[in-house]
């Protein structure tokens, strides 16, 4: 006696497996990414663009001497204050 003989459930499973393995089913791909992956990629692209602009700018030479890489500057937790942001620091 065959295992699938007159068993509708087994025959249905066999048919579905054959359909899934057919060439038509291979066109469907998983195209959704997790939000965290998209966020990470956008942050990385933003950093690359920022670094490119930072490198091509003629301004901020003193700041660039301390932080040649934008990523290094972002790693520092600098508190902004009047003396740090003011152009004319009194002597």
Domain ranges in the chain are 8-85
**What's the whole-model pTM score?**
0.50
Mean pLDDT of the chain: 78
- If you average pLDDT over residues 83-90, what whole number do you get? 58
Q: Two tokens at 33?
A: 């990414």
Residue 1 confidence class, pLDDT cut points 50, 70, 90: very low
Using CA atoms, how far apart are residues 8 and 58, in angstroms rounded to an integer? 76
- If you average pLDDT over residues 20-49, what whole number do you get? 80
């Amino acid at each position: 006696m065959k295992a699938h003989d007159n068993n509708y459930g087994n025959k249905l499973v066999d048919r579905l497996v054959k359909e899934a393995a057919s060439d038509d089913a291979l066109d469907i791909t998983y195209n959704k990414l997790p939000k965290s992956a998209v966020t990470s990629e956008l942050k990385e692209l933003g950093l690359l663009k920022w670094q490119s602009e930072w490198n091509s700018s003629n301004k901020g030479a003193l700041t660039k001497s301390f932080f040649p890489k934008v990523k290094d500057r972002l790693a520092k937790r600098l508190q902004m204050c009047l003396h740090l942001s003011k152009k004319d620091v009194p002597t």
